[in-house]
Structure 1
């Protein structure tokens, strides 16, 4: 094997290793401790930055969309409804087009993309997903006059849609009311936790490098 062949071999190996590192780096696993928002953001510092930006943009508390996201996808970037089966073994599609961190349905996502002018946005990107949720929470406030701090009714809007909420489609769904209460309770817990660590999260990498 001559020097050119050896160099070519090492070049291909280097490219393969680089691509592997890039692909692994781009995939974000769900946080290890989803019960503590401080630990979630410590594990994924870029998530805090994206959540804070969405909070500033849409005027909502960070804890609310994070609690909804926990409920909807458990922070899985490619979450989707389970497949439905005919006769127990023939797949015939999923219950809805919901997908990604926010479990946004295709029609609602397309509405967001158009209204928010975010044509590059992706449902499996955390920053885009939480911006979508901020848009939804803000629109719920404008259309149905629900406070952006009211996790209970915000979640009912999120699950049933704005029209469904106005029609009271949730009233006979005891299970959904229980879930909405759980989302609200978790948002309050997340909010209290965030007060204890937000100052730390706002510090840049240089501060952390020298002061821990």
Structure 2
């Protein structure tokens, strides 16, 4: 009886570990050594869509800090917090309801969940592909990929970010983080199991 009681919480502990953000978000190698299944998912997306792993990580870090259930703050009415939120964005990639439905409709990935890492990075790869196809943004261009991600394709075309100095600064930070992660991955990809890494320069 005592053994069964001791084992009872184990599934809950395992589930908690699976969804806990990485202990060190500054280092891509440490992220993937702690979360090897994340590396497998990100590598799949890189091969499928051509979106570099470092760009995936940089955007996700900015959007959710790698929290599976990240959500915007609740709206307020006369200073009182309400039950609804300021946006329907949710999950690792902070995707809104309508955009997530668009992704599922176009890809047929109807079982996708925004709080699953593999689904979130697959969305990122798909969205970056649309950004490249419709706007001509390179998938290696973390700065403009992030601006199109945040403002939407129409917003990027209209350059709405030009009136948002704070957003331009955020995009620069995303770009810097992507470069940092890329340099780190140069030194550890082989140890993470990659055998087919490529660079365009």
Please report the TM-score for the alignment, with normalisation by the length of structure 1.
0.86
Match of 1:32 among 23, 30, 35: 23
Matches of 1:24 and 1:134 in 2, distance apart? 31
Q: Give 1:20's aligned residue.
A: 9
Pairwise CA distance, 1:114: 1.3
Pairwise CA distance, 1:158: 0.2
1:1-212 alignment, distance < 5 Å: 10=1, 14=4, 20-27=9-16, 28-91=19-82, 93-202=84-193
Matches of 2:90 and 2:13 in 1, distance apart? 21
Distance 1:29 1:90, change over 3 A: closer
Computed over aligned residues only, the root mean square deviation of the Cα atoms, in angstroms, reads 1.6
Native 8 Å contact 1:86 1:92 kept in 2: no
Matches of 1:172 and 1:90 in 2, distance apart? 29
- Unpaired runs of 5+ residues, structure 2, are 195-201
Native 8 Å contact 2:59 2:146 kept in 1: yes
Please report the TM-score for the alignment, with normalisation by the length of structure 2.
0.91
Pairwise CA distance, 1:151: 0.7
Equivalent residues, number = 192
Larger Rg: 1
